[in-house]
A and B are shown apart, each in its own frame.
Chain A
Amino acid sequence: MLTYELKRPVSIIGVGCTPFGNVLETPELKGMTERELFAWAAIEAMEDAGLEASEVDAFYIAHCMPETLSHQFSSFAMVADWIGMRNKPGFHHETACSSTNTGLRHAVLDVASGVYDVVLSGGIETTNSHPMEGKPAHMREPLSNAELWYRTNYGADQAYWYPGGMAVSALCDFALMGYAKKYGVSLKDIERALNAASIANRRNAVRNPLATITTKELADEAREHGFSDVNDYMTSDFNPKLGTIMRAFHAATVVDGASALIVCATDIAKNFTDAPIDVIGFGSAVTIPYHETEAQWEVEKSAFDQAYRMAKINPYRDIDYMHVHDCMLNTHITSTETGGYFRPGTSWKAILEGRTAFDGDKPISTTGGRTWMGHAWSASAGAEIAEAVRQMRGLCGDRQIDPAPEVSVIENIGHGIHVNVSVLRAHV
């Protein structure tokens, strides 16, 4: 029988995350391999949890495209020595762009089963470059965006989905067309809402020290290009169309980075930290997107429903902060409604009214999102969980949600596709 209950409650006691940027260019990251990045995030998570590697029973590493981007697999061995986990259980896994959200689930289940007390779960991806053939790992050369996406689309079913000429923008535009028709919203208003979501994400990224790829708000950037109205800038050739509706600033910017978190049994969490964050629910679901014909996807609804059932929360009443998977910004409109953060047909207006900003009443994706903190494939979900944990602890500086959220929901969608939802609650 499905109980949707953990046999033993589990809490997050530490999080870590590198700056997100480019190991060939970003000063803080320059010259680093996957090992230093993963160790950076993992050691930071251990320090945050107030423990050392000797106290960690097992670890997971999410690494979505190791063969393409790192010219190796067996990622567990790649990092074990670096984080003090030699001769301990270590596992590589991936669910594409939702990997480190799924990694939280794996770690939680290991502890909830009673097998382990403390588990580390992290992720790494270096999307902007790949190793030179046959050379040591620090010798890398750039990988073009076109080549990266070509290889990333190995995540699409190669029997039926890819051979039809698969367009990534379909994931955004199909859902938005369904939404606009269903609720009688003009495509012009949909575009305005997407622009507003991108502006809000940028505003968060500028305030997030880990988001290194951008330093100025979109309105300022528009003025530099001679536009007094940011919306004119965002419908100009500076922001080219990548689909019928979707434009470049509505889509992910690729980055390199790593993230990590540490979970332990809730009954011993206070031995490590004063501020544990309980993992009270999770849900996962998979499909091929051509089965989805509506704005609200069944696969997302399934994952959200599982998570809320386990967490025993009412999404319309209980959620203080939501991250949705914004590698395409339609999710700020569609996924937030599927996940019960907004009533059906209302999200686009809430975005235009500024309610989803970090200082609005319905904040979304305060990292800066996959658009402007950037998308580091398997590593990003962990960055988004780390952000939620830091928001709940009140550590987010000038992008802090006030009051600090008590209940947070993090939703991620991996290419292919895989949806993973986690529900966190500040421990009381």
Chain B
Amino acid sequence: MVKMQPYVKNWYDFFEEGKVMGLKCNRCGSYEFPPVATCHNCFGTDLSWVEMSGRGKLVAFTLNPYPDPPFAEYAPFIYGEVVLEEGPAYATMILGVDLDKQEELYERLPVDVTAVIQQRDGYKFIAFEPVG
């Protein structure tokens, strides 16, 4: 019997509790962030929820000057690629960046970032911001 659960819903629900959660493979110890039902490393399907550090490195970014309507309220914003301390990579909004200093930010890459949970209309999502 497959032990499936609503992973997507649970991931977002954890944000409501202020928790950044991922899955850890019980066979090889790899992390899945965001959560999926199969380990990308060993292909095992026995994974458990663990709290993530929320720390990572911004390795690349872009300006999103003309986002789709759902994100128009944030325009223009920085969208970046973050490699988490635990290994997985994820791309999302990067907050707390001066848009006039994109070249400086580029020169400083990789930049330490930390997770910030953001409220939207009816749900919360995860963004990151530079540390310090």
Where the two chains meet, the residues of A that have a C-beta atom closer than 8 Å to any C-beta of B are 146, 149-150, 153, 159-161, 163-167, 169-170, 172-175, 177-178, 181, 187, 241-246, 289-293
Closest A residue to B93 by CB, please name it: A165
Residues of the B chain whose Cβ atoms lie less than 8 Å from the Cβ of A290: 81, 89-91
Known: A146-B66, A173-B62, A243-B62. A165 touches B71 (CB 8 A): yes
Known: A149-B68, A153-B68, A164-B91. A169 touches B60 (CB 8 A): no
Closest A residue to B61 by CB, please name it: A244
The reply on B38 being an interface residue by CB < 8 A is no
Residues of the A chain whose Cβ atoms lie less than 8 Å from the Cβ of B74: 165
Most buried by B among A167, A241, A242: A167
CB distance A177 to B109 under 8 Å? yes
Interface size class of B (residues with CB under 8 A): 20 to 34
CB distance B89 to A243 under 8 Å? no
In the assembled complex, how far is the CB of residue B97 from the closest CB belonging to chain A, in whole angstroms? 11
CB distance B103 to A165 under 8 Å? no
How far is it, in angstroms, between the C-alpha of A420 and the C-alpha of B90 when the chains are bound?
24
Closest A residue to B79 by CB, please name it: A167
Closest A residue to B59 by CB, please name it: A293
Closest B residue to A178 by CB, please name it: B60
In the assembled complex, how far is the CB of residue A344 from the closest CB belonging to chain B, in whole angstroms? 18
- Per-residue interface assignment for chain B, residues 63 to 100, with 1 indicating a CB less than 8 Å from any chain A CB and 0 otherwise: 11111110100100101010100000111110000000
CB distance A177 to B67 under 8 Å? no
Most buried by B among A187, A243, A246, A292: A243
In order of increasing CB-CB distance, the 9 nearest A-B pairs are: A164-B92, A167-B64, A173-B62, A174-B60, A290-B91, A167-B79, A243-B62, A177-B60, A165-B93
In the assembled complex, how far is the CB of residue A229 from the closest CB belonging to chain B, in whole angstroms? 22
In the assembled complex, how far is the CB of residue B125 from the closest CB belonging to chain A, in whole angstroms? 5
The reply on B106 being an interface residue by CB < 8 A is yes
The reply on B102 being an interface residue by CB < 8 A is yes
In the assembled complex, how far is the CB of residue A152 from the closest CB belonging to chain B, in whole angstroms? 10
CB distance A164 to B79 under 8 Å? yes
Known: A165-B64, A242-B65, A245-B62. A170 touches B109 (CB 8 A): no
CB distance B63 to A293 under 8 Å? no
Closest A residue to B77 by CB, please name it: A165
- B81: which of A146, A172, A174, A242 is its contact (CB, 8 Å)? A174
Residues of the A chain whose Cβ atoms lie less than 8 Å from the Cβ of B81: 170, 174, 290, 293
In the assembled complex, how far is the CB of residue A168 from the closest CB belonging to chain B, in whole angstroms? 9
- A170: which of B79, B83, B103 is its contact (CB, 8 Å)? B79
How far is it, in angstroms, between the C-alpha of A293 and the C-alpha of B64 when the chains are bound?
19
CB distance B127 to A164 under 8 Å? yes
CB distance B62 to A246 under 8 Å? yes
CB distance B61 to A242 under 8 Å? no
Known: A177-B106, A290-B90, A290-B91. A160 touches B68 (CB 8 A): no
Known: A149-B68, A164-B127, A181-B109. A243 touches B63 (CB 8 A): yes
Residues of the B chain whose Cβ atoms lie less than 8 Å from the Cβ of A293: 59-60, 81, 83, 89
In the assembled complex, how far is the CB of residue A323 from the closest CB belonging to chain B, in whole angstroms? 25
In the assembled complex, how far is the CB of residue A239 from the closest CB belonging to chain B, in whole angstroms? 14
CB distance B62 to A159 under 8 Å? no
CB distance A150 to B68 under 8 Å? yes
Closest B residue to A146 by CB, please name it: B66
How far is it, in angstroms, between the C-alpha of A2 and the C-alpha of B46 when the chains are bound?
28
CB distance B65 to A165 under 8 Å? no
How far is it, in angstroms, between the C-alpha of A173 and the C-alpha of B81 when the chains are bound?
10
The reply on B44 being an interface residue by CB < 8 A is no
A-B contacts, 6 of them at CB < 8 A, read: A153-B68, A159-B8, A174-B60, A175-B60, A243-B65, A246-B62
CB distance B65 to A241 under 8 Å? yes
Residues of the A chain whose Cβ atoms lie less than 8 Å from the Cβ of B62: 167, 169-170, 172-174, 243-246
Most buried by A among B74, B79, B102, B127: B79
- Per-residue interface assignment for chain B, residues 88 to 124, with 1 indicating a CB less than 8 Å from any chain A CB and 0 otherwise: 0111110000000011001001000000000000000
How far is it, in angstroms, between the C-alpha of A167 and the C-alpha of B34 when the chains are bound?
18
Residues of the A chain whose Cβ atoms lie less than 8 Å from the Cβ of B91: 161, 164, 166, 170, 174, 289-290
